């Protein structure tokens, strides 16, 4: 694996790529160079034949404590506007076709919460500390938090959380449907995340990428258009070898051997 300053990358299991945010001195605060490295690593996993699914995690103590406040403090409107400050963060959500599982332990605040919400599956520990505390700094969420939190938990709860800056636990996140599951310990989180990643990596890459694409469309399109979009992709997958392989294996009561074609 390539060496980075603020992140670590690995392929812990066949088909599984992992990015670990690693800026321990600042609780993984998301400075611009960290995001640049993250985008580079995700781009490499996205185009790698050996990777089907990506895990994004931090440390036990912090997934990420937010955008880098010290970097933002002197930023001006004109600088933010002309450089599209924070826009590059959304590459995670827009440029990566393979599913990304966030494994969140400890703090996931501000931009850290937003980064986790951009992922396709969110797993956390019960004691994880989520929140959008920007209001306490005299600002507002800037990396999609107001949109994704609202879609996940509904308007009234999102409004309450964003206007008060109050944090919420992994137990809450799972109860509200923001997280798919909250695990009782850090070890259980990482084990459960790997298990899900391996399950996904065991399927056809064509179907994995198609499934991610259509589920994500549900967040952007009205129902009728989304259903039509899904059907087009579904029809398209009849053109893959793996659809034939998967259905033939079922009929023959055998295990499918995917070609990813």
Give the residues lining the site for ligand CAA (CB under 6 A): 26-27, 29, 65-70, 86, 107, 109-111, 114, 133-134, 137, 141-143, 145
Catalytic one of 66, 110, 111, 145: 111
- Catalytic residue flag (residue 111): yes
In which order are the strands placed within the sheet that holds 51-57? Answer: 7-13, 15-21, 51-57, 100-104, 121-125, 181-183
Cα 179-182-185 angle, rounded to 5 deg: 145
Catalytic one of 58, 102, 103, 114: 114
CB of 25 to ligand CAA, least distance (A): 6
- Catalytic residue flag (residue 37): no
**Closer of 17 and 110 to ligand CAA (Cβ):** 110
Contact call for residues 66 and 109 (beta carbons, < 8 A): yes
Catalytic one of 37, 134, 144, 182: 134
CB of 211 to ligand CAA, least distance (A): 29
Return the structure tokens found at 7.
């992140």
CB of 244 to ligand CAA, least distance (A): 45
CA dist 246 and 254 (Å) reads: 9
Burial class (CB in 10 A: 0-12, 13-18, 19+), 71: middle
**Closer of 86 and 121 to ligand CAA (Cβ):** 86
CA distances from 222 to 95, 168, 210, 213 (A): 22, 30, 19, 15
**Closer of 110 and 170 to ligand CAA (Cβ):** 110
CA dist 111 and 120 (Å) reads: 16
- Catalytic residue flag (residue 138): no
**Closer of 33 and 226 to ligand CAA (Cβ):** 33
CB of 174 to ligand CAA, least distance (A): 21
Contact call for residues 6 and 42 (beta carbons, < 8 A): no
> Catalytic amino acids?
67, 111, 114, 134
């Amino acid at each position: 694996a390539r060496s980075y300053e603020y992140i670590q990358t690995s392929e812990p299991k066949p088909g599984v790529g992992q990015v670990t945010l690693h800026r321990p001195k600042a609780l993984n605060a998301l400075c611009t160079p960290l995001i640049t490295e993250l985008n580079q690593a995700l781009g490499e996993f996205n185009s790698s034949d050996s990777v089907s699914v990506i895990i994004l995690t931090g440390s036990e103590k912090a997934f990420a404590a937010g955008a880098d406040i010290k970097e933002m403090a002197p930023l001006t409107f004109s600088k933010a506007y002309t450089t599209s400050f924070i826009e590059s963060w959304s590459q995670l959500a827009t440029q990566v076709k393979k599913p990304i599982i966030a494994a969140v332990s400890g703090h996931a605040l501000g931009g850290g919460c937003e980064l986790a919400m951009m992922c396709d599956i969110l797993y956390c520990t019960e004691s994880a500390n989520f929140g959008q505390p920007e209001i306490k700094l005299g600002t507002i969420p800037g990396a999609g938090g107001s949109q994704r939190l609202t879609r996940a938990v509904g308007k009234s709860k999102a409004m309450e959380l964003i206007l008060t800056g109050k944090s919420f636990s992994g137990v809450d996140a799972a109860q509200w449907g923001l997280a798919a599951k909250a695990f009782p310990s850090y070890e259980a989180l990482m084990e459960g995340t790997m298990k899900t990643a391996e399950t996904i990596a065991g399927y056809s890459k064509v179907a994995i990428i198609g499934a991610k694409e259509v589920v994500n469309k549900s967040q952007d399109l009205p129902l009728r258009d989304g259903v039509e979009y899904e059907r087009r992709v579904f029809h398209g997958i009849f053109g893959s070898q793996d659809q034939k392989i998967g259905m033939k294996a079922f009929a023959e009561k055998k295990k499918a051997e995917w070609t990813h074609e």
